[in-house]
Each structure stands twice: as structure tokens, then as C-alpha cells.
A and B are shown apart, each in its own frame.
Chain A
Amino acid sequence: MSKGIIQLCYRKIIDANSTKLWDKYVFDDTHQEFFMQAQLYHQEGKLKTYHEILEKNPQAEKLQFLVSTAAVGYIQQLNGIVPEITNAFGKLCLSFENFRFEIIQSHISDKQQHKIAIYFYSKPLLWIDTIANQLLVSHSTDLQEEHETDLIALQPLLNISSFKATPILN
């Protein structure tokens, strides 16, 4: 009866307007890391923004990886729980192992322009049904067992990032 096995992906955006402590730490430290690492690619200091640097030097794409090192310690502090995405009880309920870090925009000296995203990829979920704007999912993908379920609301920045059809049971 299930629709398939899915992964949800939450794209968390952090910028100068972010107010949570975790977000501020990530904002501050990834901007400092961008300032430091970008110097590999603009040693004359003429290029200021991430996109200017990338346009002149495609190798600067590695900044996505290099700057992510400043966020890793904070991502590890989340203990594998996707932030902010909650079930119908308002509790965090998605586990993750994989993430991706993105520099949306940055400027070596104007920190206000710094904006990054962290994509959190959930562990596989069994997508059972959709009720109104909520996905009914199970954290167990074992079709033979009774499983506990969660309702997770569809919302901006939350995407279904992969799908695998489940076998039809007789």
C-alpha cells in the first residue's frame, strides 16, 4: 500500500538575518573560512565576491568543500537529527547522515553578503500516503512489520530528493 521509499532533503539557509545561536556560529565561522580560503584564488585581492572569484577561476568551485570544513563541527553537534523539520507533535524526527554545503553568495570583507545553505538528506523513509499537506511516513522500510509513523508537513525548502518504488505485496 505504500508509495515507495523516499529521502527528504531540507535546505537550511543561513545568512546575516539568522538569529539562532547555531546558525550564527555557522554564519560567522563559514564567513571567516571563506575569507581565508578564497585567498587561494584571488591572491591580488581584486575579486571580492564568490561569484566574481568563480567566474575568473573555475577551480574556486572547491571553495564549497573548503569552506564546509568550518561547518562540519556544528553539523556533528546535531547528532544526526535534521533541525527544524518536525512531525505533527512538533518534535524533530528526521535522522540524517549525509549533508551538502553550498555557498549561495559571499564577499571577502562584507559579511552581510555571506549566505550559505546546508542540505540535510534524511535516511530512507517509507512513504505510505499523503494526508492533506502532510506526508505519512515510517522510519522503518521493512514492509512486513507494523511500524510507527509520522506526519510531516510539506513546506518550503523541504524536498523529496529520491524515490524508490516498493515491491507490490500479494
Chain B
Amino acid sequence: MIKLGHESKQQDISRKLVSNLINNCVMKRIDFLKRAGLGLVTAQIVACKTESVDPTSSSSSSSSSSTTTSGSTNTSCTSTPSETEGPFPTKTPSSLVQSNITSDRTGTKLTIKINIQNKNASCAGLANAIVDIWHCDAAGNYSEYGGTGMQATNYTTVHFLRGRQVTDSTGLVTFTSIYPGWYSSRAPHIHVHVYNSSGTSLLVTQIAFPEDISKIVYAQGVYASHGQADTTNAKDNVFGDGVTYEMSTVTGNTTDGYVLTHNIVVSA
């Protein structure tokens, strides 16, 4: 069983919206809901004092603003309808959509800058591509359910070191994370899945790390107890055929953290 980490708060959710996934993410509403939630949870010993939060109560309204009954002038002299207490469901992005994917994991800071380029446009930056990344923590564990997938999860602590961003006009996405650890028989790597703006897969690939820098990172901090990676890029079953196109550029130091830059070319 792999321990699940703490999800970042909703406030950390990126404002970058994937057009057909996300629509209106009303952050103020979510903040309100979260505050309401604290009240409900702390009151749980006093049985059933909470008002209904059945989402059916909001189905007549499309999203967020239906509770506002004050502050406007009622000119038709009709009774102001009573409003059921919230919360009201609001369109919200996947919990993957965040730029800081560290969650509760500790390690040497790594800023990940990935440029997506379009082979069909002379390798110009590809805007509005969806980029998923995921990698293991300092101990070599991924955030995912246990082997059977039948394990209940705390809804506030769902995943770590997984993220999704949409490329800007230059084709760039940026994530804040930690330097990946390693696990047996694989060289250190980051997984990347690139989609077009409608979610159709363009490429699944992995990013390799310079071995000299990994050696420095794995000799210190939370990585030290796990030791040095047991597999070189040359012996890796993914990178073993060469890392010409998978090797990243990594600069920095263990005090200030590292910055990874990498270009990925897709046909879009």
C-alpha cells in the first residue's frame, strides 16, 4: 500500500482553464463552501443539526450566484423567494489542475519548465496543449491507490506529485515540485502525457535526468537514506536506446533548488 499525500487546497488550483473540461470555476464560491464545511464537520457530534446540503436543492440554478437576494431593488413587489442553504455545485477542474504539485512531499525544490513544440509548424510553440506530469517522491513512491484500487481515500488527501497545466501562447508549462527520487530498476524520470486542447492524446513520454546532478541530489537531504539510483540511463529499459530526445537540462544547486527545462516535440 502506498501512502497517499495531502492534496493542496482549492486555493492552489490553477486558474488556467481547459475549455472543454472546466468552464466556470468560481473560487469565491468554493471558499465559501470550504468555510461552511469546517462548521459542519466540527459540529458533527451534535447529531443532524446541519441543514440539508442535498445538491438537488440547487438544480434550478446553473451555478454560483443564486443565493444573492439582498442588495438589489425589488421593483415588482413580489415575494422574495426563500433560498435553500447551500452549498451549490459549481463546475470545478480536475484535482490534477495545479502548478505546485508538491503537496505534502519533501525534497529538493525542482521547477519544471516544459516547452511543447509542434512538428507540423516548424517546431513553433504549441498553445493550449494540455500537459500532465507525474513522478515518484524521494522514497520512490507514486501517488496512487493500492494494488487493488479498492481502498477508501480521505477526500482531502487524494494525491501528490501529479499535475496538469495548459501551455501558454509560447507552448510553455511550468510546475513547481521536488526532484524525483528513484525506484529499483529504473533511472530517475518524469512521466509526461501531452494532449491537444480537446483531450486527444498527442504523446506519452518520459523525461530523463543528468546523472551527475542526480548523484548530488541523492547524496543529501531526504534522499540520502535511499542512496544512489541503482539504474543508469544507459541501462534503463526506457532510456537505454539513447536519451538524445529525452534528456533534460537541469541547473541550480541543492540549497536554492533546481530548474529543469525540456522541449517536447509533438505532431499537432
Interface residues of A (CB under 8 A from B): 19-23, 25, 29, 32-33, 35-36, 39-40, 43, 61-62, 64-65, 68-70, 72-81, 83-84, 86-87, 89-93, 95-100, 119, 121, 123, 138-140, 147-150
Assuming A25-B89, A39-B201, A79-B36, what are 19 further A-B pairs, CB within 8 angstroms? A39-B193, A39-B200, A40-B204, A62-B145, A69-B94, A70-B94, A78-B87, A80-B44, A80-B155, A87-B48, A91-B48, A92-B54, A97-B155, A97-B156, A99-B153, A123-B44, A139-B45, A150-B47, A150-B48
Contacts from B to A (Cβ < 8 Å): 7, 10, 13, 20-21, 30, 33-34, 36-37, 40-41, 44-48, 50-56, 58-59, 62, 87-96, 130, 144-145, 148-156, 158-159, 162, 193, 195, 199-201, 204
Cα distance A25–B56 in the bound complex, in angstroms: 12
CB of A61 within 8 A of CB of B53, answer no
- Cα-based distance from A114 to B7 in the complex (angstroms): 27
Are B58's CB and A69's CB within 8 A? no
- Chain A CB within 10 Å, residue with most, of B30, B48, B56, B59: B48
B33 contacts across to A, CB distance below 8 A: 76-77, 79
Q: Are B87 and A19 in contact (CB under 8 A)?
A: no
Contacts of B162 in A (CB 8 A): 69
Using CB atoms, name the residue of chain B closest to A26.
Answer: B89
Assess the B195–A36 pair: CB atoms within 8 A: yes
- Whether B20 and A98, one on each chain, are in contact in the complex, defined by CB atoms closer than 8 angstroms, is no
Q: Chain A contacts of B52 at CB under 8 A?
A: 86, 90-92
User: A72-B155, A77-B33, A79-B87 are contacts. A64–B48 as well, Cβ < 8 Å?
Assistant: no
Q: How far is the CA of A75 from the CA of B46 in the complex (A)?
A: 23
Are A25 and B158 touching (Cβ within 8 A)? no
Determine the chain A residues whose CB is within 8 A of the CB of B159 once the complex forms. Answer: 65, 69
Contacts known (A21-B58, A32-B20); A73 close to B34, Cβ less than 8 A: no
Known: A65-B145, A79-B40, A92-B54. A140 touches B45 (CB 8 A): yes
Q: Which residues of A contact B47 (CB under 8 A)?
A: 87, 93, 138-140, 147-150
Within 8 Å CB of A83, what residues of B?
53-55
Contact partners of B59 in chain A: CB under 8 A: 19-21
Complex contact B92–A73 (CB within 8 A): yes
Contact B54 A84 (CB under 8 A): yes
Tell me if B158 and A100 are in contact (CB < 8 A): no
Q: When the two chains form their complex, are residues B95 and A73 in contact, meaning their CB atoms are under 8 A apart?
A: yes
Q: How many Å lie between the Cα of A29 and that of B94 in the bound state?
A: 8
CB atoms of A35 and B94 under 8 A apart: no
Please determine whether A77 and B50 come into contact, CB atoms closer than 8 angstroms.
no
Q: How far is the CA of A92 from the CA of B193 in the complex (A)?
A: 40
Are the C-beta atoms of B158 and A72 separated by less than 8 Å? yes
Verify B34–A100 contact, CB threshold 8 A. no
Q: Are A77 and B58 in contact (CB under 8 A)?
A: no
Asked if A73 contacts B94 (CB within 8 A), the reply is yes
**Contact indicator B91/A98 (Cβ below 8 Å):** no
How far does the alpha carbon of A32 sit from the alpha carbon of B158 in the complex, in Å? 19
The CB with the most chain B CB atoms within 10 A, among A21, A74, A92, is that of A21
Contact A98 B55 (CB under 8 A): no
B142 to chain A, nearest CB (A): 9
Cβ of B50: which chain A residues have Cβ within 8 Å of it? 81, 91-93
- B158→A69 contact, CB < 8 A: yes
- Rounded to whole angstroms, the CA-CA distance of A61 and B148 in the bound complex is 8
Taking CB atoms, residues of chain B closer than 8 Å to A19 are 59
A100/B48 in contact, CB under 8 A? no
The reply to whether B37 and A29 form a contact with Cβ atoms under 8 Å apart is no
Report B-chain residues with C-beta under 8 Å of the C-beta of A65: 144-145, 149, 159
Smallest CB gap from A98: residue in B: B152
- CB of A62 within 8 A of CB of B144, answer yes
